[in-house]
A and B are shown apart, each in its own frame.
Chain A
Amino acid sequence: MNELPKVNAQEGAVSVPARQITSCDDVSCELLVDPIPRPTPEPLEVILKPTERRVRFVDHSKPNSIKILRMSQQLLRDRGIEVEEEILNKGDASQRMPGELLGLLSGEKGLVLCGVSD
């Protein structure tokens, strides 16, 4: 095996499968066929730590989600955190975020909070 996969240390599950596994006997080796399609080009890198102390919400239209997000806006403001007034809308929780919205959020320097589950 040529590459160590990324393992979730808490649960022991492999989160990103290995790209390559080699099978060797006493005299030769062969690569096993990788069954997992991978994104090409590589997916975008996401900056996990915001560089500005600001929060922006994205609603995905689950029941009562907009209500919960509005309450959260107020709670954060009461604690002195800047919150964008406009709550962006993803439209459908079961579908991927549209490219235009993703592009907009990729330039966000604050914290983006997406979705409230039902």
Chain B
Amino acid sequence: MGLETLQDIENCMNSGWTDGLPVIPPYGSVVNEMLDAMGWRADDVSGEFPEHNVIVRAEQAAATAVMAGCAMEYGSLLRSLTEALLDPKLNICGVEVTTGGASLMVIVSGPVVSQLGFEHRENALGANCRANATVGRFAQMMRLFCGRAGGVLQPHGTIGHPGRISFCVAEHPETEWGAYHTQMGIPEDASAVSVMSTEGPNSCNNHYGDTAAQILDTIGDCMCHYGQTAWYYRSGGFVVVIAPDHMALVSKEFSRDEARAYIYEHARRQTDDLERMGRIAKEPIAFAEVEPGAMRSPLRSADQLTFIECGAAGGRFSAVIPRWVGSTHIMTKQINEKASPSSRETAEGNPK
């Protein structure tokens, strides 16, 4: 790397073309190579925000991928991810500006996990691995670059969380309950990428329980602390991360649907306690469906709960990741090698 390149990195840093970390300068020749890898031409429209008069061109997405440090081999995945990120249902501008400080969580599932070398075992939620780190960074940089509509909108996150730099989780290629994307109706043997807006992960430790119910109750309890954002609007839902040691206990007695139903049924708090604690408005709006005296779930319905299997064996931990209440959709896209947009399977929303 010559001195000119270092100067270019500094110029990017000083000019707002950064997420706060040094970037690979988006030289035209490298961006063109990334465009080829993504199967796009420079002027193709990758997405649009008509309400902000903003059109996102493929060249801009490819430049962002280069800047994040993504390898060219990630091209097909990045294309599917770009389409998911720019789908208006994800509300990327809302994610960027909310006081909730949400980030975009990316889930990679299926054979692509092994093919591209994603880490899905040790430290799966914060892996020091190029694929995880740069694909996750790409998503956050797209949020930053597109979500502010060219600097018109500004962020207002109260505290945010470290996932706003990078948050990409890869699922085990072999799962007990089926690939993550099967919850969105995409075939088991496909590769897919999902994106959703989330808060930071809450770790669930249970080292001494020896039944599935104990593990699920621990996870459910973690979803039910007073500080959960979900209590009032209940628009987001949760992603539950189950690591192998917990999964070995849970899968002996529960299918994925049974575990979802169990948590929905059991993870609840008394509505009046929530009101006393200030977690429910004194004069709730009808949308919040507040029933005084009832046991309240942080989920509006069971299908707001999805499960991902990842993490290393040898520790009895799982995690609960609350989704941001202002973005109700999980966008999931099948990854096809060099496919045209019309041939891509798309799914959205909550589990089927």
Question: Per-residue 0/1 for A28-71: is the Cβ within 8 Å of any B Cβ (1 yes, 0 no)?
Answer: 00111111111111010000000000000000010110010000
A34 to B60, CA, bound (A): 7
Among A21, A23, A37, chain B packs the most CB atoms within 10 A around the CB of A37
Scan residues 281-327 of chain B and give those whose CB is less than 8 A from a CB of chain A: 281-285, 325-327
A95 to B97, CA, bound (A): 10
Question: Per-residue 0/1 for A1-35: is the Cβ within 8 Å of any B Cβ (1 yes, 0 no)?
Answer: 10001100000001111100101110000111111
Q: Answer whether residue A101 sits at the interface, using C-beta atoms and an 8 A cutoff.
A: no
Contact of B63 among A24, A34, A43, A64 (CB under 8 A): A34
Contact of A43 among B16, B28, B53 (CB under 8 A): B53
Contact of B59 among A17, A30, A33 (CB under 8 A): A33
- Minimum CB distance partner of A98 in chain B: B51
Total interface residues on B, CB under 8 Å, equals 51
Which A residues are CB-close (under 8 A) to B141?
35
Total interface residues on A, CB under 8 Å, equals 35
B283-A17 in contact (CB<8A): no
B56-A37 in contact (CB<8A): yes
With contacts A33-B31, A35-B26, A36-B150 known, is A14 near B15, CB below 8 A?
yes
- Minimum CB distance partner of A65 in chain B: B281
| Chain A residues within CB distance 8 Å of chain B | 1, 5-6, 14-18, 21, 23-25, 30-41, 43, 61, 63-64, 67, 93-96, 99, 117
15 A-B pairs (CB sep. < 8 Å): A16-B16, A21-B12, A23-B27, A24-B4, A30-B28, A32-B26, A34-B60, A36-B151, A37-B60, A37-B150, A39-B150, A63-B281, A67-B283, A94-B326, A96-B52
